[in-house]
A and B are shown apart, each in its own frame.
Chain A
Amino acid sequence: MTREHRTARLGRYFWWQYHDYMLHQAPATAVVLAMYAYLTLMPILNGSMTNERRYTVATLPMSVVQGFFSDAMASFILLGTLFATNGIVATDRKRGFYRFYFAKPVSAPRFYTNAFIANGSGMLTVSLLLLAAFAFTVRPVLPLSFIPVVAAMYIAFGGVGFMLSTIWRFDWLSLVTVAIVSSLGWGMWGEDKGIRGWLVHLLPPMHRTAELYSYVAGTTTSFPWTTQLWLTGYGTVCFVIGLWILRTRSLATQ
């Protein structure tokens, strides 16, 4: 027995966390997105959305494909991040799993940063698989900006989800609420010069995400750097606040 410091082998543990994501969240993300794709594409293919004009996947106009890709990406990122960060901290607290984790030489902020990165890596893996499936079944599109945008959006939404998960157990509900309130708030008071306009600036810039997806889908040509930086900056700040909460708040509720 020694009195020397030692640390957990989080590098190796990362693969367990990645394995957990791929086993539990990844299938759910893929299934939900497949259902979304089916429900969105079928009305276009059978003509109920296109004045009775029927299409096959091969005959779909490029503009329809781009619109579908952009919408599917938006849904994938929101739902994928929701699944990836749902309960990331709160479940361990609620179910008591933290007791054995944090009796080991590991700090909660380091452990959950590892989990956040592992889940993000898992989500990127799933996004690549889905992109490959899209390229194989719909159109052979492989935009270079796809991975950086998915990663940035994971940080943006995931950072908020992570912070909410450190605060209370209803993190998924809060994240959906934040997304809806932000979209509505920015739409209604984004241009307001008064107090409401200021308050809206505290919310994530959800109204700007469509710019990024359109660029990836190829409908716009200039990359919206400010939007990308705003979103990732917002998510990073939320993530750091989450780490601070983990460091300062008691791990046990009672």
Chain B
Amino acid sequence: MARQRRACRCRRRARLTPNERRALGDSPFVHFAEVGKTYRGLRRRVAAVVDVSLDIQRGEVFGLAGPNGAGKSTLIALLLGYLKPTSGAITIGGSRPREFVERHGVGYLSELVTIPPRWRLEEALSRYALLAGVETKRVRQRVAELVERLGLVEHWGKQIRQLSKGNLQRVGLAQALLHDEQLVILDEPTHGLDPVWTQRFREIVGDLRHPERAIFIASHNLDELQRVADRVAIIDHGRVQRVVQTRATAKDSGAIPYRIVISRGIATAHELLPSAREVAPGELALPPLSVEALNESLSRLLAQGVLVASVTPVYSSLEREFREAVQADPSSLHSPA
């Protein structure tokens, strides 16, 4: 009876106003409807997020990219209910963010991993596990599993302040994975991770994919987002500039420049590709080409016995979209990671 009364109270609190319901219509799992957030100071007002409308479905890995100060962290704080929007509405599973989080929890890794520095690693994860609602008798086992999975066994008894940036990042990731959440929010998840753990992170995101779960990743690393996300929203000056389908982008990437490393037959390659210039011994820079033109050029090279060691796009198609969206020159991009 008491439980029913509590549930009723929760439903009442989660109820939206008629205006919000009209604005939202039939909502997907995560829905931003014309969301705005303005910080008001004594002297000035800063619009951090302006009219953001986004839908995220269950089963989707959704990326968020943008330059520094674009509004990514504010958007995440709004999604977690840590900030309240100045205009518009956000819903998760039909509830306001705070109500959803307080009833279900979310897996969240913040950009800055802030854990009391005197806590020991195992203690920190045990505490977060209790808060995440892990059964008391399963806490130790769950913590041990994650410590093992994230390669933190040797740091088990260490204090948080004794951990390196990369290890701290892994502890942050571990606490986000303590419970099987419907929504996982990762803010700059590979920040500070070495290449091995960056690769492991991709595998973890792959394992997290589930038809019932939405994964939201904010990152500066466009190559990372291209690899793990289904769609990426590019945000600048608080506005969503465009939403890019990463798989479609890979297919229809348009003309982008490439670099080819030749193991044998560099002179022949020069003859066959007169527009290419040699940027290093055995490495040619090709001008922007479509995928078809690139393959045709490669066929010609291979037919003449040239041995090609690697072909790398100078920048990824998502990077090109990003540069266009934030109005920068795509030709100034460096090689992808």
Kindly provide the distance from the CB of A252 to the nearest chain B CB, expressed in whole angstroms. Answer: 4
Kindly provide the distance from the CB of A102 to the nearest chain B CB, expressed in whole angstroms. Answer: 7
Indicate if the CB atoms of B82 and A250 lie closer than 8 Å.
yes
Q: Report which residue of A6, A8, A97, A104 has the largest number of chain B beta carbons within 10 angstroms of its beta carbon.
A: A104
Residue A100 CB within 8 A of the other chain: yes
Indicate if the CB atoms of B104 and A106 lie closer than 8 Å.
no
Is the contact region of chain A dominated by helix, strand, or loop, or is it mixed?
A: loop
Indicate if the CB atoms of B105 and A104 lie closer than 8 Å.
yes
Indicate if the CB atoms of B131 and A8 lie closer than 8 Å.
yes
Residue B128 CB within 8 A of the other chain: yes
| Residues in A neighbouring B116, C-beta threshold 8 A | 95, 97
Residue A107 CB within 8 A of the other chain: yes
Interchain CA distance A191-B83 in the complex, whole Å: 45
Kindly provide the distance from the CB of B169 to the nearest chain A CB, expressed in whole angstroms. Answer: 13
| Residues in A neighbouring B333, C-beta threshold 8 A | none
- With known contacts A96-B114, A250-B84, A252-B77, A9–B108 Cβ distance under 8 A: no
| Residues in B neighbouring A5, C-beta threshold 8 A | 7, 10, 103-104
Indicate if the CB atoms of A105 and B108 lie closer than 8 Å.
no
Indicate if the CB atoms of A254 and B39 lie closer than 8 Å.
yes
Interchain CA distance A7-B132 in the complex, whole Å: 7
Which of B112, B131, B172, B182 contacts A1 (CB under 8 A)?
B182
Interchain CA distance A69-B10 in the complex, whole Å: 49
Indicate if the CB atoms of A100 and B105 lie closer than 8 Å.
no
Residue interface mask A94-122, B partner, CB < 8 A = 1: 01111111111111000100000000000
Interchain CA distance A99-B114 in the complex, whole Å: 8
Number of A-B contacts (CB under 8 A): 104
Q: Which residue of B lies closest to A3 (CB)?
A: B182
Residue A12 CB within 8 A of the other chain: yes
- With known contacts A1-B180, A6-B104, A102–B82 Cβ distance under 8 A: yes
Indicate if the CB atoms of A6 and B105 lie closer than 8 Å.
yes
Indicate if the CB atoms of B127 and A99 lie closer than 8 Å.
no
Residue B54 CB within 8 A of the other chain: no
Indicate if the CB atoms of A251 and B82 lie closer than 8 Å.
yes
Please, how many residues of chain B have a CB less than 8 angstroms from a CB on the other chain?
A: 45
Q: Which residue of B lies closest to A254 (CB)?
A: B39
Indicate if the CB atoms of B39 and A12 lie closer than 8 Å.
no
Which of A6, A8, A99 contacts B108 (CB under 8 A)?
A99
- With known contacts A12-B136, A102-B82, A252-B82, A3–B130 Cβ distance under 8 A: no
- With known contacts A3-B182, A97-B115, A103–B93 Cβ distance under 8 A: no
Interchain CA distance A99-B7 in the complex, whole Å: 25
| Residues in B neighbouring A101, C-beta threshold 8 A | 131
Residue B106 CB within 8 A of the other chain: yes
Residue interface mask B170-212, A partner, CB < 8 A = 1: 0010011001111001000000000000000000000000101
Residue B107 CB within 8 A of the other chain: yes
Interchain CA distance A6-B132 in the complex, whole Å: 9
Interchain CA distance A97-B84 in the complex, whole Å: 19
Please report which residues of chain B, range 31-46, place their CB below 8 angstroms from some CB of chain A when the two chains form the complex.
39
Interchain CA distance A8-B114 in the complex, whole Å: 20
Indicate if the CB atoms of B130 and A105 lie closer than 8 Å.
no
- With known contacts A1-B213, A95-B114, A104–B128 Cβ distance under 8 A: yes
Query: Residues on B close to A: CB < 8 A?
Result: 7, 10, 39, 48, 74, 77, 80-84, 93, 98, 101-108, 110, 112, 114-116, 127-128, 130-134, 136, 172, 175-176, 179-182, 185, 210, 212-213
